[in-house]
Amino acid sequence: MYTEPRTATDRRSPCQSDLQDNSEEWLVYRMTRYRTGFVGVFGQTNVGKSTFLNEVLGRKLLMTSAKPQATRNRIQCVHTTDEGQIVFVDTPGLHQPKNKLGRHLLREAHRGARGMNVMAYVIEPWGAVHPVDRDALDHWADHEAVKVLLVNKIDTARGNALEETLLAYAALDQFADLIPISAARGIGLDDAVRTIISHLPEGDPLFPSDVACEHAEEFLVAELVRDHVFRHTRQEVPYASAVNVKWIREGENGVTEIRAEIVVARESQRGILIGKAGNVIKAIGSGARADIEQLLGTRVYLQLTVRSEPRWTEKDDDIERLTNIE
Ligand SMILES: Nc1nc2c(ncn2[C@@H]2O[C@H](COP(=O)(O)OP(=O)(O)OP(=O)(O)O)[C@@H](O)[C@H]2O)c(=O)[nH]1
Ligand SMILES: [Mg+2]
């Protein structure tokens, strides 16, 4: 039986002692020390990475969408439990880039892998190893992070698809654990979090337990507006849109006043975003306002404008400026 080390110098991991890697004591040991570390969430676009994080965090901090390429930045958020603290890094989904903005997103995803203790790689129950995953996992084969596979959307799996998926990805011999989940239905999330924590190094929390996100309010507010741009527009318009929060200030009677502009890449997109008699921009504004009120916990007055910056999605400087995270 593993016994508690008595001195700091005696704090060897049980791996170095006589314990077997999979013995019950080792598992108990892994679960009883406070653990802290960085966990990157990776995977193809639209597999549910941001949905998973929102569900784990218990609040809508990250933008999600039925349309691909919703996430544009490496976004850090903090999840604290009694067992450990995870600094999660959400990343843009892996995809075939079609323009400069797409290539920028892919670079962001790869940058997200730096310094991670654990890579949570998210897939869907496709039944076989997807070629994009094979390439990405090959690329990260020598990365020092522990890799955990999250098979999301198990609510959509038909027949033996889940079992076949688990077998196919296990055969890659890269994953310490493979966990079926459904982010949207809240299935398997506790298991996923506990397993991830068990792979983190021992350490004290890096953030106070009430911190959920280390980004400025402006960024989170901009993401909520962009979320509703994705909901209310189609084709190229959501991908040509960026949101810039001009200011947030305390107004009268506890109302928070926010001024934000949506930047599009062409004049015609401006018209689409505004819509007939302003119906599209109104729908975006009222949806975003409700979400921002939830986030900030105050009443919100949101003023939205639309401006076009021709071809910003093709210019490096503009991409940096308009997708910049603070
Ligand atoms: N059926 C089902 N749908 C899900 C589940 N989890 C997420 N989704 C849906 O999948 C879509 C994509 O979710 P996101 O969380 O935006 O995906 P993502 O991986 O962050 O996408 P990118 O940011 O574009 O890389 C959304 O419509 C979600 O509602 C799930 O467990 N089951
Ligand atoms: Mg996302």
Query: 47 with 139, same domain?
Result: yes
**Residues 43, 93 contacting (CB under 8 angstroms):** yes
Q: Please give the single-letter amino acid code of residue 232.
A: H
Identify the residues whose C-beta falls under 6 Å from ligand 1: 45-51, 64-66, 68-71, 92-93, 152-153, 155-156, 182-185
> What is the C-alpha to C-alpha distance for residues 160 and 230, in angstroms, rounded to an integer?
34
Q: Which atom of ligand 1 is nearest to the CA of 65?
A: 16
List, as one string, the DSSP characters of 254-284.
GEEEEEEEEEESSHHHHHHHH-GGGHHHHHH
Most informative mutation of 49, 60, 61, 64 for ligand 1 (most atoms within 8 A of CB): 64
| CATH code, 309 | 3.30.300.20
Q: How many angstroms separate the alpha carbon of residue 67 from the centre of ligand 2?
A: 10
> What is the C-alpha to C-alpha distance for residues 177 and 7, in angstroms, rounded to an integer?
32
For 150-203, how does the pLDDT look when each residue is reduced to its tens digit (9 = 90+)? Answer: 999 999 999 999 999 999 999 999 999 999 999 999 999 999 999 999 999 999
> Which of 171, 198, 225 is at the close of a domain?
198
| Terminal Cα-to-Cα distance of the chain (whole angstroms) | 49
Task: Report if residue 38 sits inside a domain.
Answer: yes
Task: Report if residue 227 sits inside a domain.
Answer: yes
Confidence (pTM)? 0.84
Query: 119 with 260, same domain?
Result: no
> In which element (H, E) is residue 169 found?
helix 161-170
Query: 45 with 122, same domain?
Result: yes
Query: 106 with 225, same domain?
Result: no
Most informative mutation of 51, 61, 71, 187 for ligand 1 (most atoms within 8 A of CB): 51
Query: 45 with 193, same domain?
Result: yes
Q: How many angstroms separate the alpha carbon of residue 202 from the centre of ligand 2?
A: 29
Query: 50 with 78, same domain?
Result: yes
Range of the domain at 109: 33-198
pLDDT of the chain, 326 residues: tens digit per residue: 333 333 333 333 333 334 455 667 666 655 568 999 999 999 999 999 999 999 999 988 888 999 999 998 888 899 999 999 999 999 999 988 889 999 999 899 988 888 999 999 999 999 999 999 999 999 999 999 999 999 999 999 999 999 999 999 999 999 999 999 999 999 999 999 999 999 999 999 999 888 888 788 899 999 999 999 999 999 999 999 999 999 999 888 889 999 999 999 999 999 999 999 999 999 999 999 999 999 888 999 999 999 999 999 999 999 988 987 65
Query: 129 with 228, same domain?
Result: no
Atom 24 (ligand 1) nearest CA: 69
**Residues 195, 148 contacting (CB under 8 angstroms):** yes
Task: Report if residue 11 sits inside a domain.
Answer: no
Task: Report if residue 210 sits inside a domain.
Answer: no
**At what angle are helices 217-232 and 279-296 packed, to 10 degrees?**
140
> What is the C-alpha to C-alpha distance for residues 321 and 284, in angstroms, rounded to an integer?
23
Q: How many angstroms separate the alpha carbon of residue 64 from the centre of ligand 2?
A: 6
Three-state secondary structure string covering 15-69: CCCCCCCCCHHHHHHHHHCCEEEEEEEEEECCCCHHHHHHHHHCCCCCCCCCCCC
> Which of 198, 232, 248 is at the close of a domain?
198
Q: How many angstroms separate the alpha carbon of residue 229 from the centre of ligand 2?
A: 15
Task: Report if residue 12 sits inside a domain.
Answer: no
**Residues 34, 209 contacting (CB under 8 angstroms):** no
> What is the C-alpha to C-alpha distance for residues 11 and 8, in angstroms, rounded to an integer?
5
> What is the C-alpha to C-alpha distance for residues 244 and 254, in angstroms, rounded to an integer?
23
**CA dist 121 to 39, 52, 55, 179, Å?**
10, 12, 16, 10
Q: Which ligand has the nearest atom to the CA of 192?
A: 1
Query: 150 with 284, same domain?
Result: no
**Residues 133, 121 contacting (CB under 8 angstroms):** yes
Query: 81 with 178, same domain?
Result: yes
Tally of structural domains, the chain: 2
